[in-house]
Amino acid sequence: MNGLVKRAFRYRFYPSEAQAAELSRTFGCVRKVYNLALQARAEAWTLRGERVGYEATSALLTVWKRTEELAFLAEVSSVPLQQALRHLQAGFTNFFAKRARFPRFKSRKKSRASAEYTRSAFRWRDGALTLAKMAEPLDIRWSRPLPEGAVPSTVTVSRDAAGRWFVSLLCDDPGVTPLPATDAVIGVDAGLDHLLVLSTGEKIGNPRHERRDRAALAKAQRALCRKQKGSANRNKARVKVARVHARIADRRSDFLHKITTRLVRETQTLVIEDLAVSNMVGNHRLARAINDAGWRRFRQLLLYKANWYGRDVIVVDRWFPSSKLCSVCGELAAVMPLQVRTWTCACGTTHDRDVNAARNILAAGLAVTVCGAGVRPQRNPPGGQSATKQKTLRREP
């Protein structure tokens, strides 16, 4: 990691009626401009084989504002509209680079309501934030202080399905610096009985956040189903369901942040598995528990925090048989059903399934670094199998 880290600080705020109305109009205009630009670019490519870039869509935006049908676009700040076009351009760039799917149209009911403001569209003075087209600063709840002397470069305002308003301030954080190096190295096995099992033998329990609120969620969803579609009461019931979901998501995020921060602070090198979560949720008996565990989010948090603080994360291949392999003698068991939590190898060693898997993941990750295979799992390695897929030979007595 070189230079200062750009970090977003997210806070809840409570807008006045005028501010809420202005932001709601802005959200709608952002969505409209994004969809119009996406349609124009798609039609240009489909009908004429022409690529339309950001500059062309920006010129189209000026034309749209001058029409009678879309004159309302000129009533809100132009910066969030331009940022929507930049986001669309980034989406097409990722699509052509085969990093993402083709951009999709934004839905009024399902898409995230947000607007992004750059420095020219907000005023930051004495800790008060005032957005363009607004006379008063936002009523922000400062749950934690910004870095000393920090000045936001970008402000993103959003409203979630539960009706909560948030503002995210992007600024440089000089407090993020590499931690002192240590010799600690651990393997991490993700599971459902225990969320994480470390190669040291430590087991971190699975809080099962969704299960704690399952009764409240079911009650709110039943009430929603009884309401007439399109009615005001149905919208109120929808918000109640969204609030339960938000409470579950907030607890899960808080727990994962605390766990990943602790692991990064205490460990120099962490080895994890490359789990195919999208494939695993195809098992309908386990899908609910897998989604509640948040394995993908855990990996995302671990990767960016390790990059911030000078730690290493090694990801071993998803096909590595960590659960079936004896960490003592290297014997590979023929089968290992999920219900088997402890097993005894032919060498006489009795294993805890998850601890044994974590130790095998650690050994495989260290082998990856020694063999020079890199930290990313190899799908089609030039020499045949990846370093983590080499056949493990059983040691002779």
- Which residues does the annotation mark as catalytic? 189, 273, 354
* Eight-state DSSP code of residue 281: T
Residue with token string 């898409």:
111
Residues forming beta bridges with residue 118, ordered by sequence position: 154
Q: Which residues of 31-65 are buried (b: 16+ CB within 10 A; e: fewer)?
A: bbbbbbbbeebeeeeeeeeeebebebbeebbeebb
Spatial neighbors of 18 by CB under 8 A, at least 6 apart, are 134, 135
**H or E segment at 73?**
none
Tokens of 369: 């670094």
Residues 77 and 82: their CA atoms lie apart, in Å, by: 9
Helix 54-65 / helix 78-96 crossing angle, nearest 10 deg: 150
End-to-end CA distance of the chain: 47
